[in-house]
Amino acid sequence: MKQKSVAVVGAAETTNMGKIPDQSVIGLHADAALNAMRDAGLTAKDIDGVATAGESPVELAHYLGITPTWADGTSVGGCSFMLHVRHAAAAINEGLCNTVLITHAESGRSRVGARKFGRDPASQMGQFEVPFGVTSPPTMFTIPVLRYMKEMGVTEEDLAMVAVIQREWAAKNPRASFKDPITVDDVLNSSMIAWPFRKLMCCLVTDGGGALILTSAERAKDFPQKPVYILGTGESVETPMVSQMEDFTTSKAFRVSGKKAFEEAGIKHDDVDHLMIYDAFAHLPLFGLEDLGFVKRGEAAAFIRERNTAIGGKLPLNTNGGGLSYMHSGMYGMYALQESIRQMRGIAPAQVPGAKISIAHGVGGMFAASGTIIFSNEKP
Amino acid sequence: MAEYPRPLPVPTPETQVFWDGCASGELRLQKCDACAHTYFPPRAFCPACSGRKVTTFKASGKATLYSYVINHRPRPDFGTEPHSIAVVTLAEGPRMMTNIIDCPQTPEALQLDMALEVTFEKASETISLPKFRPAKG
């Protein structure tokens, strides 16, 4: 896509976060959307493009009173919103619409008006994975890790350290679900979920949502907030079944998506000031750092252990506390995007001083899909 | 037989040959006639070269342990003890999800790359699940 041709002019999360028993899923979508519209100084009448995952874009548009000329219901898991940003930028550049609203919301914890989770027993996953006892991400997303640990020489302590450092970031964020410091021992002594994963290596389950509003960079300067420009985008998908990943030590979808985004943006890794990597589990930042090319394969654990991604480090990572400590309603990609926007606006609770380029990298399903967005706060 | 307590696969026309194989004690894979690529899960064409001429054959049943977790979350249908959920690399190349049985469900007993062999667990009149156990000898 054309660099810096599209910008984010509205961004907000739901008013509340964590446990929200008095709002349904669609109600949370609307709450996030109304907050983002207020942020951008718009109402539903100004929106002519909608995208969402989990809910149908039809439901979203009608509920909010939007008559769109462009709709995208791409639903590939937690990184769907990165794909929506990418698709929306292309649609705006092509003139299909001018002002796009992207929303996410889930009642992950309270399950108010939430869809039931289940797999069709005739689907590929239903036939070739579910009969062996996988039910949910803690027993699926985790399966590649012992192979990764053996090949890369990564230890349980290394996995624990990911959670420890992200908790340090969360401590600076008033909206984070968990803010109290933890140690490697605390993580390794937390209850066993699925060997080698302990509870504190797994993400939270919360209620919440978020929304973004995008328009052309040309129009963006007329909006109340500091525009955040889109510099590069990438997406890919690999497999609906974690067991059929090409290689358990690296995600093909991550590599393809990341490479595409870097090529579009025309930047080097050293140019990146701030990074978000969707962390449903503690191994995701390790895979992300390697597959995006920030470190060589097998070097991510040491990179984190040496505090390069911690407060004051050279590559601040998951500065909101991440899915491990901030929040995780089910499809966390939206919150990674929101934190990138806050960092680019200069208003994040744990602001990286002078940050000019931020990347939000998402995963969908169990290494099934990926989306990467590179943002900049510098004018075209 | 007693009702099997877990969700069972529902075969589709493309996968019936695999599940029929399991029911008769054979692990079946498919191989492309054109490019010789061996693949899993079953389908009526080759995912490597898109060719439609493929042959189903009986696999050796030999495999090695690629990766796994030991699930500690409650699964009453798997009994009260933690159980393995594993991915094995078949001798012919493809990988598949399974459970490792007939050995302690511990990190010490479940060593990556250990040699395994297939065994079939009858779940209903038509469905047997391919499981793997440590190879004998």
Query: Treating both helix axes as pointing N-terminal to C-terminal, what angle do A80-94 and A333-345 enclose, rounded to 10 degrees?
Result: 60
Q: What values do phi and psi take at B5, rounded to 5?
A: -85, 5
Inter-chain contacts counted by CB atoms under 8 A, chains A and B: 108
- Interface check for B8 against chain A (CB to CB < 8 A): the answer is yes
Q: How far apart are the first and last CA of chain B?
A: 32
- The pLDDT tens digits of the residues spanning A278-309 come to 999 999 999 999 999 999 999 999 999 999 99
Give me the pLDDT at residue A113, please: 80
Residues in a beta bridge with B98: B86
Cβ atoms of A88 and A121 within 8 Å: the answer is no
- The pLDDT tens digits of the residues spanning A221-255 come to 999 999 999 999 999 999 999 999 999 999 999 99
Q: Give contacts of A135 with chain B, Cβ < 8 Å.
A: 73, 75
Confidence of residue A118 (pLDDT cuts 50, 70, 90): low
Q: B9 vs A126: CB contact, 8 Å cut-off?
A: yes
Look at residue A380 and tell me whether its pLDDT is greater than 90.
no
Query: Which among A282, A357, A273, A353 has a CA at the least distance from the CA of A316?
Result: A273
Q: B8 vs A197: CB contact, 8 Å cut-off?
A: no
- Interface check for B96 against chain A (CB to CB < 8 A): the answer is yes
Q: B67 vs A197: CB contact, 8 Å cut-off?
A: no
Taking only the tens of pLDDT, chain B with its 137 residues reads: 556 777 899 999 999 999 999 999 999 999 999 999 999 999 999 999 999 999 999 999 999 999 999 999 888 778 888 999 999 999 999 999 999 999 999 999 999 999 999 999 999 999 999 999 999 86
Q: Give contacts of B123 with chain A, Cβ < 8 Å.
A: 131
Q: Which residue of B has its CA nearest to A194?
A: B71
- Interface check for B15 against chain A (CB to CB < 8 A): the answer is yes
Q: Which residue of A has its CA nearest to B4?
A: A131
Q: B67 vs A244: CB contact, 8 Å cut-off?
A: no
Q: What values do phi and psi take at A30, rounded to 5?
A: -65, -40
The radius of gyration computed from the CA coordinates of chain A, to the nearest angstrom, equals 19
- How close B7 comes to chain A (CA, Å)? 6
Q: Give contacts of A145 with chain B, Cβ < 8 Å.
A: 67, 69
Q: Which residue of B has its CA nearest to A249?
A: B67
β-sheet with B28-32: strand ranges across: B38-39, B28-32, B54-58
Neighbours of A118 (CB within 10 A): 10
Q: Which residue of B has its CA nearest to A148?
A: B67
- CA dist A293 and B18 (Å) reads 40
- CA dist A362 and A284 (Å) reads 10
Q: A150 vs B11: CB contact, 8 Å cut-off?
A: no
Q: Is the ipTM of this complex over 0.85?
A: yes
Give me the pLDDT at residue A199, please: 97
Cβ atoms of A61 and A71 within 8 Å: the answer is yes
- The pLDDT tens digits of the residues spanning A70-112 come to 999 999 999 999 999 999 999 999 999 999 999 999 998 888 8
Neighbours of A138 (CB within 10 A): 21
Q: A127 vs B12: CB contact, 8 Å cut-off?
A: yes
Confidence of residue A266 (pLDDT cuts 50, 70, 90): very high
- How close A129 comes to chain B (CA, Å)? 6
Share of chain A above pLDDT 90, in %: 93
Q: A133 vs B41: CB contact, 8 Å cut-off?
A: no
Residues in a beta bridge with B121: B129
Residue A333, C-beta contacts closer than 8 angstroms, at least 6 positions apart: A78, A79, A80, A81, A82, A104, A278, A360, A362, A363, A364, A371
Q: Give contacts of B21 with chain A, Cβ < 8 Å.
A: none
* Class of the CATH domain delimited by A6-113+204-376: alpha beta
Q: Which residue of A has its CA nearest to B67?
A: A147
* DSSP annotation of A114: P
- Residue-wise DSSP of chain B: -PPP-S------TTTHHHHHHHHTT--EEEEETTT--EESS--SS-TTT--S-EEEEE---EEEEEEEEEE-S--GGG-SS-EEEEEEEETTS-EEEE-B-SS-SSTTT--TT-EEEEEEEE-SSS-EEEEEEEPP-
- The pLDDT tens digits of the residues spanning A41-52 come to 999 999 999 999
Rounded to an integer, what is the distance from CA A216 to the centroid of its chain?
23
Confidence of residue A120 (pLDDT cuts 50, 70, 90): confident
- Residue-wise DSSP of A16-76: S-B--TTS-HHHHHHHHHHHHHHHHT--GGG--EEEESSS-HHHHHHHHT---SEEE----
Query: Which among B94, B10, B97 has a CA at the least distance from the CA of B47?
Result: B94
